[in-house]
């Protein structure tokens, strides 16, 4: 049994961390490239109107409606759906059902609409909002 | 058995600068990425017409400013006006410093109505709201010096809110 000697002096092996930056860089580039591909597929292009005297307040309870206009035809995007301003109502009602009355009181409707959208279309959205009793609207703008 | 461990000098690369590179990248992406804008124009819609809560109050002719919008043409009291003149028209209508009987008798009684044609682009509609707001801001600048003896831009938000309550921006749309 004298083969197994108990007090062999071990040298503490040190792992070189020099290649760690390379690994991190490769991961970084991978995520950067893959992230860019996904977002370009899913965005709706909206050219917000510009305004100088806009508020810059924090909005906590919100529902967001996006209106995109292309070649004289406008579409609303809300939640994961899209459609006409009249389709908004059923979505608004279902969203309202999930909220507490206190939250509904503070709920703001954010409208991000393209600058070329006709006002008639915006008015149809407003009518749907009025009919579902959501009256606090915020028109999002760009700074010129 | 005759294998002897060779004692090589261990090569070490200083990895201490990794953190610096990380921070540099973090700061770079923080600076270059654009934050989603929070800039907005708030409006409150009137309650639905079907409800009985609608109060109709008689409005004196002089407290009413009718604005019509068709594409980029603005009519104020059926007269075409250049865009630049809107803020000063709003200011004189709301504040009425000369006590003219053509303008609002009291700042909080002033009511502006907007009628926009359906084809008007949303950009022009927002531009009109923007002009109305800059007119009202002019009124607030004068009033905050009068009431609080402080400049409007330096006013604390609680006083600003009371100012907005005293002179609310009342806009009706058709």
Report the range out of A24-33, A120-129, B1-10 with the highest average pLDDT: A120-129
Choose the closest CB to A120 out of B22, B48, B119.
B119
- pLDDT value, residue A55: 84
> What is the average pLDDT across A74-81?
85
Do A118 and B121 lie within an 8 Å CB cutoff? yes
Asked if B48 lies within 8 A of A131 by C-beta distance, the reply is yes
Which of A74-88, A101-115, B25-39, B124-138 has the lowest average pLDDT?
Answer: B25-39
Q: Does A128 touch chain B (CB under 8 A)?
A: no
CA-to-CA separations, B28 to A21, A27, A64, B31, B123, in angstroms, rounded: 17, 17, 30, 5, 34
- Asked whether residue A10 carries a pLDDT value surpassing 60, the answer given is yes
**Tokens at B80, concatenated:** 């075409």
- The CA-based diameter of chain A, rounded to the nearest angstrom, is 96
Mean pLDDT over A22-36 rounds to 84
What is the per-residue pLDDT for A69?
Answer: 87
Is B33 exposed, middle or buried (CB count within 10 Å of its CB: 0-12, 13-18, 19+)?
A: exposed
Q: What is chain B's pLDDT, residue by residue, as a tens digit (174 residues)? A: 556 666 777 777 777 788 888 889 988 888 887 776 788 888 888 887 655 555 666 777 788 889 999 988 999 988 899 999 999 999 988 888 888 777 887 888 888 999 999 999 999 999 999 999 999 999 999 888 888 888 888 888 888 888 888 888 888 887
In which element (H, E) is residue B42 found?
Answer: strand B40-44
Which tokens sit at A82? Answer: 């899209």
Among B18, B43, B137, whose Cβ lies nearest the Cβ of A21?
B18
CA-based nearest residue in chain B for residue A52:
B130
Whole-model pTM? 0.73
Tokens of A123: 């008015």
Which residues, in sequence order, are CB contacts of B80 under 8 Å at separation 6+?
B73, B74
With CA atoms as reference, the chain B residue closest to A126 would be B45
Chain A residues within 8 A of B37 when measuring between CB atoms: 48, 140-143
pLDDT at B11: 74
pLDDT of B126: 92
């Amino acid at each position: 049994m004298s083969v197994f000697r108990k007090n062999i002096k071990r040298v503490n092996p040190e792992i070189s961390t020099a290649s760690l930056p390379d690994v991190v860089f490769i991961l970084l580039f991978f995520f950067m490239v893959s992230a860019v591909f996904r977002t370009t597929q899913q965005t709706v292009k909206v050219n917000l109107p510009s305004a100088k005297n806009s508020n810059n307040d924090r909005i906590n309870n919100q529902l967001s409606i996006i209106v995109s206009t292309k070649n004289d035809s406008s579409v609303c995007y809300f939640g994961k759906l899209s459609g006409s301003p009249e389709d908004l109502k059923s979505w608004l009602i279902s969203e309202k059902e999930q909220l507490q009355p206190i939250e509904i009181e503070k709920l703001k409707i954010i409208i991000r609409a393209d600058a070329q959208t006709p006002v008639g279309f915006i008015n149809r959205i407003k009518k749907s909002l009025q009919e579902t009793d959501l009256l606090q609207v915020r028109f999002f703008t760009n700074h010129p | 058995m005759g294998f002897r461990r060779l004692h090589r000098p261990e090569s070490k690369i200083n990895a201490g600068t990794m953190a610096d590179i990380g921070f540099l990248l973090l700061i770079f992406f923080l600076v270059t990425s654009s934050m989603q804008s929070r800039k907005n124009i708030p409006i409150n819609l009137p309650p639905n017409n079907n409800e009985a809560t609608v109060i109709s109050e008689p409005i004196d002719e002089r407290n009413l400013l009718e604005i019509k919008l068709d594409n980029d043409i603005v009519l104020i009291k059926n007269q075409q006006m250049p865009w630049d003149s809107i803020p000063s028209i709003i200011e004189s209508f709301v504040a009425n410093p000369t006590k003219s009987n053509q303008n609002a008798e009291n700042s909080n009684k002033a009511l502006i109505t907007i009628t926009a044609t359906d084809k008007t682009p949303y950009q022009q509609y927002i531009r009109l709201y923007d002009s109305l707001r800059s007119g009202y801001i002019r009124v607030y600048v004068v009033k905050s010096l009068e009431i609080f003896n402080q400049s409007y831009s330096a006013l604390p938000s609680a006083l600003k809110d009371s100012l907005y309550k005293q002179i609310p921006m009342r806009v009706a749309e058709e």
